[in-house]
Amino acid sequence: TGNARVDDDISFLTHIVIISIPSVLSPSPQNITMKFTIVAALVASASAWTAPKRFELPASVKAAVTGAAVTAGVAVSPAIAGDVGAGEQVFNANCAACHAGGQNVIMPEKTLEKEALEQYLAGGRNEKAIITQVTNGKNAMPAFGGRLSDEDISNVASYVIATSEAGWDE
């Protein structure tokens, strides 16, 4: 393509697809959902190359996300600094290839479930620790500090905290 950033992204996404396939071959409902989520994440990531860097969600979408969160029993807490709805969009476009449904296709024990975050995340289960991990990467996880804005990373952290509290499968 002539664009090093796009070439790097394509390489990264191809790597994720190749290493994800064996872990999602079983026909369980969760793995079928994970397959569709991985495909959606790849499509969203590819779309992001031509989409504007920032866009504003319509008020009706924000209201629907908040309403769905309340209906599902997800607390919309003022202690969480980021925008959970925006974080979900960033997560689906950038994180779901490896972390669909809060799972981890690379290191299955290190999920985004509440207990695993408390056990494995350096600094424990809190927004600051997630922001650090997403920004800097660690082990097999790449750094997103150069790919995502600070606001996007904060929003993802808020989404992960809120969803791990409510439960990823709910």
Number of H helices, E strands in the chain: 8, 0
Residues 6+ positions from 121 with CB-CB distance below 8 Å: 129, 130, 133
> Which residue's entry shows tokens 């969480």?
80
Phi–psi pair at 146, nearest 5 degrees: -90, -10
The count of other CB atoms within 10 Å of the CB of residue 158 is 24
Report residue 16's pLDDT band, with 50, 70 and 90 as the boundaries.
low
For residues 56 and 154, the model is more confident at: 154
**Looking at residues 39-47, what average pLDDT do you find?**
55
Among the residue ranges 40-54, 76-90, 92-106, the one predicted with the least confidence is 40-54
pLDDT above 80: residue 25: no
Measured CA distances, 170 to 59, 71, 72, 74 (Å): 25, 11, 8, 10
The residue among 84, 167, 65, 168 whose CA lies nearest residue 127 is: 84
Q: Residues 84, 162: contact at Cβ < 8 Å?
A: yes
Q: Is the pLDDT of residue 47 over 70?
A: no
Residue 114: partners with Cβ closer than 8 Å, 6 or more residues away:
125, 164, 165, 167
What is the CB neighbour count within 10 angstroms for residue 84? 23
Average the pLDDT over 159-169 and give the result: 91
Overall average pLDDT of the 46-71 stretch: 53
> Is pLDDT at 149 greater than 90 in this prediction?
yes
pLDDT value at residue 53: 46
Q: Assign 148 a pLDDT band (cuts: 50, 70, 90).
A: very high
pLDDT per residue as tens digits for the range 100-119: 999 999 999 999 999 999 99
- In this predicted structure, the answer to whether residue 120 has a pLDDT above a threshold of 60 is yes
Three-class SS state of 26 = coil
**Chain mean pLDDT for the chain:** 74
